[in-house]
Amino acid sequence: MRHSEPPGWLEAIAWVSLGIAFAIALAIAFDIVVRGHRQKMAIMNVVYPVTALYWGPVALWFYLRYGRRMSKLEMEREPHESDRGGESDSGEEGPPKWWQVSKGVTHCGAGCTLGDIGAEWLVYATGWTLFGAALYADYVLDFAFAWTLGIVFQYFSIVPMRDLGPLAGLRAAVKADTLSIVAFQLGLFAGMAVYQLAIFDPPLDKATASYWFLMQLSMVLGFFTAYPVNAWLIRIGWKERM
C-alpha cells in the first residue's frame, strides 16, 4: 500500500511536539514515582503521564494545579487545606466544576490513548485492512482496545471510591464510562478521517512523526467531544466526581 510523505515543515513540527509531550510525561512520572507525589487514587499515577502524551504543556499545568495537590504527600503536609484557589474537591452540591469534569475525561482518555496507540501499531505491523483501507481496520481495533482499557481504568477508579466487589465494580465501570469512551473515540475518529481522507491521499505512513502529531490533535478533539458527556454522567451520578 502506498503512503503519503509528509512535508518537511510538518515533520519538524511533529518531532518537536512529540518530544515535548514525551518529556513532560516523563517529568510527571518522575514527580509521582521518584519525588513521592503518588496520587490518593492510584490509577491517576498512570492517567496524568499518559494525558501528557497528547495534551503536552496543558497536561503539565493541569497536573501541577489540580493533580499534584491531591497526592498523599501534599495532603499529609497540609491536611486541612482542601481548597487552593477557592475550588473545593469535596463539594457535592450543584453541577460539577470544569476541572472535575476534565479529570473524568483524562481518566477515560488515558485508557483510550493507550488502546489507540497499541491498536494502531498492531494494524501497521500486520498490514490489516478492512474494505480495502487500513483506516477502517484502525477504527475497529482502536475502539475495541480503547473500550477495554477505558473500562479497566474506570474499574480501578470506581471500585475504591464506592467500595464495590469485582462484579459490581465491573458493571459500574461499564455503566460509567462506555458513553464517555464512545464520545472520545468519535472525536478521535473524526480527526483521523480529516487527515487520512481529506488532507493526505494516499494516507500518511504510521512510521512518520507527522502521523502521531496529527493523532495528538485528534485525541485533543476527542477530549472535547467527551467533555459534555462526562459532565452529564457526573450530574446524573453514573460517574464519580474526581
Do 148 and 115 touch, CB atoms closer than 8 A? yes
Phi–psi pair at 33, nearest 5 degrees: -85, -50
The closest alpha carbon to 215, from 98, 99, 118, 105, belongs to: 118
Start-end of H helices in the chain: 8-33, 44-55, 57-62, 72-77, 98-126, 134-162, 166-193, 209-235
The answer to pTM > 0.85 is yes
Q: Is 89 exposed, middle or buried (0-12, 13-18, 19+ CB in 10 A)?
A: middle
Distance between CA atoms of residues 13 and 20, nearest Å: 11
Rg (CA), the chain: 19
Amino acid at 185: Q
Domain ranges of the chain: 9-75+95-235
Do 77 and 207 touch, CB atoms closer than 8 A? no
Query: What grid cell was written down for 221?
Result: 478533539
Per residue of the chain (242 residues), what is the pLDDT tens digit?
678 889 999 999 999 999 999 999 999 999 999 998 988 888 899 999 999 999 999 999 999 999 888 887 877 776 544 444 444 444 456 788 999 999 989 988 999 999 999 999 999 999 999 988 899 999 999 999 999 998 888 888 788 878 888 899 888 888 888 999 999 999 999 999 999 888 887 889 999 999 999 999 999 999 999 999 999 999 988 777 77
Q: Is 238 exposed, middle or buried (0-12, 13-18, 19+ CB in 10 A)?
A: middle
